[in-house]
Amino acid sequence: MNKSLRLFSLILALILSLWATNNFAAQPTAPHTQAFDPAPWQQDFTQLLAAMSEHYANLEWAIKGRHMDLVKLREQTQAELSQAHSDAQARAIFEHFLAAFGDGHLQIRWPRTAVTGSRQQDNEHQDLCQRLGYSSVDNHPGLNLSALPQFTAVAGKDAVFFPGGLLEISAHRKVGVIRIGLFAESGFPQACEHVIRTLALSNAATCNADCQDRIQQQVADFLTAALGRRAKVLRQAGATSLLVDITDNGGGDNWDEAPPRELSAIPLRESRYAFVKSEHWTKDLKERLADVDTDLAQHRGPRQVLIAARAHLLQAIDKSQHLCDRSSVWITGTLHCSQLVKNLLYTDALVPYARAGSYAGLVSRAVLYDPLRYDYTESPDRPPLYVVV
């Protein structure tokens, strides 16, 4: 894929909800007394194709980059659904269809069964961080270097978040290893517990959306600072370079902007970004424009930067409303128009780079350069950085 073009659907994901209620409702009679009807699943598949035609950013890459035969894939899937004998088999056919795209962000969020009374009671007794979804279950351990005689684990208060140690390459070369198991605040419950104590919140506290955002922001900044301290400890222990282990890392959210900048000696620039023409993006871009207009009205910040940002946003808003009908691609296998808007934005940003701490006091600070929502540092006085994937 062209690395200068990062394609995302909404926020890096296409979540498709299927509505065949009768597929999931409890059956009044035993399964063997009622014949399976594939028709609702076939209707769901038609809905899935329509949603992908309208919202899936990587649909164009599937054709032009991966050279997929979408007509053949559709026909095969429809044929398999017509021969399905159970809900489980039909669901597996859907999953196989999505797997053909090789895209971890393309998924179906299947309906869940109702929560039982006992489980609801269990949730009521969970700590605040648990109720907010903070769990280490997706934070995987990564490479096990402990079996190597050249490796020595390095302890420290931040090792609970970012374990690692020193790998001796030669008498004068030691690599400081840092493990990052997940680029999401939710994967670090201990960090959440620290923030909860800092904010003097009880585990029984009610936490609305603003409260959750405040906790998430402070957890992110706490983790970024902990990562910086961890790198410093390894350097003091003799590391001449750093190696970040992100093997089996499950991805994450916007916090992935902060760790590379906290560790890199080189200022990191954002790449170009394409977005999907849709009501979602029109609304999102208008909200960004409102923040820029607020700063302009208050005469805050660099005026020319804000004026240029406003012009880009107005252009992006206009283009987001010129929709492309891509539904025929499942019949013809070709696209006659593009649902993507390119070369107007950078990755969640309007400028390719801004120094850490820039645009302080601006409402549109993160609109101009999204990494600025996080408290990270930049410095050329850092050792060489390597990443294991």
Counted domains in the chain: 3
Residue 135 CB burial class (10 angstroms; 0-12, 13-18, ≥19): middle
92 and 133 together in one domain: no
182 and 71 together in one domain: no
The encoded tokens of residue 243 equal 């190696």
- Within-domain flag for 18: yes
159 and 128 together in one domain: yes
The CA distance from 308 to 361, in Å, is: 19
222 and 159 together in one domain: yes
Q: How many CA atoms lie within 13 A of 203 on its CB side?
A: 9
- Within-domain flag for 117: no
pLDDT at residue 321, as a whole number: 97
- Within-domain flag for 376: no
- Of 108, 130, 154, which closes a domain? 108
The CA distance from 313 to 345, in Å, is: 9
For 305, the enclosing helix (H) or strand (E) is: helix 303-320
- Of 108, 132, 161, which closes a domain? 108
135 and 260 together in one domain: yes
159 and 247 together in one domain: yes
Closest CA to 198 of 128, 268, 273, 298: 128
Give the residue ranges of the chain where pLDDT is below 70: 1-33, 112-125
- Within-domain flag for 205: yes
pLDDT at residue 105, as a whole number: 85
pTM for the structure as a whole? 0.80
End-to-end CA distance of the chain: 18
- State the CATH number of the domain containing residue 13: 3.30.750
Across 160-307, the runs of DSSP E, i.e. the strands, are 164-170, 173-179, 241-245, 272-276
pLDDT at residue 86, as a whole number: 95
Question: What pLDDT digit, counting tens, does each position of 261-271 carry?
Answer: 999 999 999 99
pLDDT at residue 210, as a whole number: 95
Q: Residue 20 is which amino acid?
A: A
The encoded tokens of residue 311 equal 């012009």
pLDDT at residue 182, as a whole number: 94
Residue whose tokens read 């001449």: 240
Question: What pLDDT digit, counting tens, does each position of 286-309 carry?
Answer: 999 999 999 999 999 999 999 999
The CA distance from 123 to 137, in Å, is: 17
- Of 60, 80, 108, which closes a domain? 108
pLDDT at residue 253, as a whole number: 87
* Spatial contact of 68 and 59, defined as CB atoms under 8 Å apart: no
- The domain of 288 spans 272-368
